[in-house]
Amino acid sequence: MLVEIYANRKFRLLIEALFFNYFVILSVNLLLMYYLHGFKSEESLIEEKAISFISSDNLTASYLFPALCVSFLYSVLHKNKYNYYSMILYAVVLLTAIKIWSATSLVGIVLILAYIFIFYGTPIEKTIKYAYLIIFAVFLIIGLTFFNIQNYFYFLIVDILEKDITMTGRTNIWQIGINGFNESPIIGMGYGAMIIDNGLIQLLFSGGVLGLCIYVMMFLTGTKKIFSPEHNHNSLNRFFSFVLFTTLIMSISESWFYFFGFFVILNLANNLDKLSHYLLWLQRRKNEKKIRLY
């Protein structure tokens, strides 16, 4: 609620405040992790859930991804893609992901950082159909969750990549979620009843069909500005479209729609027009000063 209030009033101040908070929280957490556990990510530490001090290894991602988005907006706010402080926070986020060794989070973070440093602001970025990416992600989630399409890629996943076709036993947990949904299909089993490790099944398990419909309405409301024709030329909107695509893919093996960080990302995405207006205002002031000098 506080994020929404500040987004509507002073979006620039919100970005700077969030950046400072994420910078301090994640930096202190990273220093503690490396001070107490050294520079190696060991499976025994991950199993004990003691490697990260702000949450479990998976839920730490709820801090990492909004921090990436806020750091990016902070650099845009200061009109410097390689802003010194933003670069430090990028490094903190990446090192934290490496330390907790959550494969899903690490892949998502690398994808977003690659987008920022390789594609953002380039001609290639404008050729990507972001709406198609979102649609592809939705169909992929449904296919993997309910139709087990990963079985068609058994040779690639098991024989070549040497990974588990059940996604490290996650599909067994998905079945528990589906069984819970079948017991209470309308209102679900309740928020916080169990972590299912799949975003779509988590919504059905926790809130039933009613909860899923409410969530979809909220998601569409929070993203309508990103995909509206009047904003689809904006680089900021394209960046957040890619972030949403990445989090959707991550939701296949994590309950990402459940995390608070996802709501922070949606709120930032829904208020990008305020940052765009502020940047235009700064540019006009700069141009006016140049005219006065001449």
Mean pLDDT of the chain: 79
pLDDT in tens, 126-183: 888 777 888 888 898 898 888 888 777 666 566 654 556 777 777 888 888 899 899 8
Instruction: Please state which of the ranges 81-85, 108-112, 114-118 shows the lowest mean pLDDT.
Output: 81-85
Residue 42 has pLDDT above 50, yes or no: no
Residue 234 has pLDDT above 80, yes or no: no
- The pLDDT, as a whole number, for residue 47 is 47
| Separation CA 93–CA 240 (nearest Å) | 18
Q: Which amino acid is at 249?
A: I
pLDDT in tens, 48-79: 445 778 877 777 888 999 999 999 999 988 87
Decide: 199 and 176 in contact? Cβ < 8 Å. Answer: no
Decide: 31 and 230 in contact? Cβ < 8 Å. Answer: no
Residue 241 has pLDDT above 80, yes or no: yes
Residue 112 has pLDDT above 90, yes or no: yes
Tell me the average pLDDT across 75-89: 85
Confidence of residue 102 (pLDDT cuts 50, 70, 90): confident
Question: Residue 281 burial by CB count (10 A; 0-12/13-18/19+): exposed, middle or buried?
Answer: exposed
- The pLDDT, as a whole number, for residue 45 is 47
- The pLDDT, as a whole number, for residue 253 is 83
pLDDT in tens, 177-224: 899 899 888 988 887 768 888 889 999 998 899 989 988 888 887 777
Q: What is the pTM of this model?
A: 0.83
Decide: 86 and 65 in contact? Cβ < 8 Å. Answer: no
